[in-house]
Structure 1
Amino acid sequence: MSVYEILLPLILIVAAGFLTTKNGFFSRHFIGDVSKFVLYISLPAVIFGSVTQLDLSEAINKNYMLIYAVGGLLCMTIAVLYSRLIMKLKWQDCFINALGSGMPNSAFIGFPIVLSIFNGQYAEAFLMSVLIENLVFIPVCLVLLEFSNETDSSLKDQLIEIGNRLRKNPIIISITLALSINLLGIQLPVVIGESVGILAKTSVALALFAIGGILGQSLVLNQKSRIALVTSIKLVCFPIIALGLLLVWPVEGDLKYVLLIFCASPMLSIYPILGGIYKQQNFCANTLIITTLASGFTLSIVVSLITHNS
């Protein structure tokens, strides 16, 4: 299966959301409600289901996780510094750029490519990637975005407000609850697990459809230099940094190639929905589409290198 065969179904769902919204079949309120459902229900279900089922004792390769975490955080740092020092953007814009630059779409693009290349192996790599994404990348960016909200209040009041907002954030709640259940060894009733699984299955299609709907409401490719920055850091810098870090923290066997595939994947599909919290859904949706299309080329290069060296 080629890279574009994996990406095409995702693009078609986005196109369906775009065309139906553009032609007035669905209202602006409907797309907003779908985005809210993904953010508050189906995405937390994906995170909860993934983290509670992790076998932390067997699914851990320290070097893999170090490279994935450090590589992503370095890309976020590059995005913030360039956005602030060179592009002179507001802090909130800088941190939105960071989220897109360092947070791969492991679930819906990276993992299917890995499965198709390695005949269903390396599920543990996906689990490690999900762990880093949900416990490091998303929380770090959400905390920074909360700090970037413009306010005249004191630092103490800002910290209290940030704590209150993060405490109510559905992603943070799902991560905290799932990790607690995992560490305590609590076995959830089958009916709860099945319910969470059903909700989780809705996240991919609904998130992509909502992205298309957002684009249908206002597809304007402005902020082109900003889009180019996020796209280039995500698709080019992240895998190159990971390749360099492999010299410091070696990963044995084909697992290192799996790592590069995840690093070279475009940003998470709910990027526009998270950006919508800070009124940046249009920029995030446009960036996601451009990056996903461009990833067909960059991922093909990574896959061809893997095939050549195998």
Structure 2
Amino acid sequence: MLVLQTILPLFILIALGFALTRFRVLPDAAPGALSLFVIYLALPALLFRALSGNDDTAAMNGGLMAGYIAGSLTWLVVALALARALRVRGTSVAAYATAATYSNSAFIGLPVGLSLIGPQAATLAAFFISFEMIVLLPLMMVLAEWHDNQGRLGEHLLGVARRLLGNPLILAIIAGGLFGALAIPLPKALLHSLDLLAAACAPVALVYIGCTLAKQRLSQLAGPAATITCGKLLLHPLFVCLAFWLMPSGDITLEAAAVVNAAMPIATVFPVLAVRYGREEVLSGAVVATTAVSFVTISLWIAMMGLS
């Protein structure tokens, strides 16, 4: 019952966004506007406050980060092998395997984490988002370009680096880390404004998820999309859990939160990020399927990890 009390309010907001979009209460431009608000204002404010406050440094211990990275990358290697065994060919191998490892840490993982462990979730989210954007995304490009043998790998990686340096989330993480490390004070009025933006992050992000799902096609949910869904919601968190069993960080609660983050559905923006390398309809179908099924699987992982 406690798990449902934690998860159900979040998915009610997703359902609200879905309904408002399907019944055309919100205009077609609403999802884009909500996404821009979260990515450029609310989430950067939350990440900056979490890191600049320097209150939850325990959430960034090296053992926790090493375990999550080791478990995720091990699963990525296994997912690549499974994709080949299932006769996926070309650059889609890299795209499908990365999709099964790319959690929606910002829009769903963060709200779930805040409900489970409180403010420390924002510090963890900064790490998860950095891992996905700085490690997973470029790695997918490396694998895909290497397979395609196009000879333009350096050019693509340089483009990724430019986009990362201009990404407001990465900039907020860097700035927050610097302000926290140097203990630079900020005016109270500015801090209050950042807190107001940060408080809006979770509800607006969840409504946005509902809006985007309402615009997704419900076809292509079988075959590759179903396989990606099983891998993302069940095997990715299992591999992260095994990594912590082999190399414990010393903080069971934060390890459990990291496993639950690995159980998050695929980020809604992933089909756009990977459109060059995979079939967009399959990846979009996997986003819809993982988000829908995750209501059950996230609840199960929360219960199994003792966070309920």
- Shorter-chain TM range is 0.7 to 0.9
The answer on whether the counterparts of 1:236 and 1:264 sit within 8 Å (CA) in structure 2 is no
Equivalent-residue separation in structure 2 for 1:282 and 1:183 (angstroms): 40
In structure 1, give the amino acid aligned to 2:73: L
Residue among 108, 113, 130 paired with 2:125: 130
Equivalent-residue separation in structure 2 for 1:171 and 1:102 (angstroms): 12
Matches within 5 A, 1:40-79: 40-55=40-55, 61-79=61-79
Over 3 Å counting, the alpha-carbon distance change for 1:209 and 1:26 in structure 2 is: same
Partner of 1:194: 192
Equivalent-residue separation in structure 1 for 2:105 and 2:40 (angstroms): 23
Equivalent-residue separation in structure 2 for 1:199 and 1:216 (angstroms): 26
Partner of 2:181: 183
Residue among 221, 242, 245 paired with 1:244: 242
- Name which of structure 1's ranges 130-139 and 10-19 shifts more when overlaid on structure 2: 130-139
Residue among 96, 99, 103 paired with 1:100: 103
SS where residue 99 of structure 1 aligns?
coil
Over 3 Å counting, the alpha-carbon distance change for 1:111 and 1:227 in structure 2 is: farther
The answer on whether the counterparts of 1:235 and 1:291 sit within 8 Å (CA) in structure 2 is yes
Over 3 Å counting, the alpha-carbon distance change for 1:198 and 1:102 in structure 2 is: closer
Deviation sequence 1:141-184 (CA, Å, 0-9, x none): 33345666999783443343223222222222222222222233
Partner of 2:135: 140
Matches within 5 A, 1:146-157: 154-157=152-155
Partner of 1:158: 156
The answer on whether the counterparts of 2:6 and 2:116 sit within 8 Å (CA) in structure 1 is yes
- For the pair 1:262 / 2:258, whether they are aligned, the reply is yes
Over 3 Å counting, the alpha-carbon distance change for 1:210 and 1:277 in structure 2 is: farther
Equivalent-residue separation in structure 2 for 1:53 and 1:285 (angstroms): 36
The answer on whether the counterparts of 1:13 and 1:208 sit within 8 Å (CA) in structure 2 is yes
SS where residue 220 of structure 2 aligns?
coil
- Name which of structure 1's ranges 98-107 and 202-211 shifts more when overlaid on structure 2: 98-107
The answer on whether the counterparts of 2:17 and 2:210 sit within 8 Å (CA) in structure 1 is yes
Over 3 Å counting, the alpha-carbon distance change for 1:132 and 1:103 in structure 2 is: same
The answer on whether the counterparts of 1:34 and 1:206 sit within 8 Å (CA) in structure 2 is yes
Over 3 Å counting, the alpha-carbon distance change for 1:235 and 1:153 in structure 2 is: closer
Shift of 1:67: 1.6
SS where residue 264 of structure 1 aligns?
helix
In structure 2, give the amino acid aligned to 1:175: I
Shift of 1:21: 1.0
The answer on whether the counterparts of 1:42 and 1:199 sit within 8 Å (CA) in structure 2 is yes
Over 3 Å counting, the alpha-carbon distance change for 1:285 and 1:235 in structure 2 is: closer
Equivalent-residue separation in structure 1 for 2:109 and 2:214 (angstroms): 26
Equivalent-residue separation in structure 1 for 2:105 and 2:176 (angstroms): 23
Partner of 1:118: none
In structure 1, give the amino acid aligned to 2:135: V
Equivalent-residue separation in structure 1 for 2:245 and 2:214 (angstroms): 45
Equivalent-residue separation in structure 1 for 2:199 and 2:185 (angstroms): 21
Shift of 1:22: 0.8
In structure 2, give the amino acid aligned to 1:260: A
Equivalent-residue separation in structure 2 for 1:30 and 1:104 (angstroms): 16
SS where residue 40 of structure 2 aligns?
helix
The answer on whether the counterparts of 1:106 and 1:262 sit within 8 Å (CA) in structure 2 is no
Shift of 1:15: 1.0
The answer on whether the counterparts of 2:54 and 2:181 sit within 8 Å (CA) in structure 1 is no
Gap regions ≥5 residues in structure 2: none
Shift of 1:16: 0.9
The answer on whether the counterparts of 1:238 and 1:264 sit within 8 Å (CA) in structure 2 is no
Partner of 1:119: none
Gap regions ≥5 residues in structure 1: 116-122
The answer on whether the counterparts of 1:52 and 1:178 sit within 8 Å (CA) in structure 2 is yes
Partner of 2:298: 295
Shift of 1:45: 1.9
SS where residue 305 of structure 2 aligns?
helix
The answer on whether the counterparts of 1:68 and 1:132 sit within 8 Å (CA) in structure 2 is no
| Structure-1-length-normalised TM-score | 0.77
Q: How many residues align?
A: 295
Shift of 1:8: 0.7
Equivalent-residue separation in structure 2 for 1:101 and 1:79 (angstroms): 18
In structure 1, give the amino acid aligned to 2:173: I
- Stretches of 4+ moved more than 6 A in 1? 101-104, 149-153
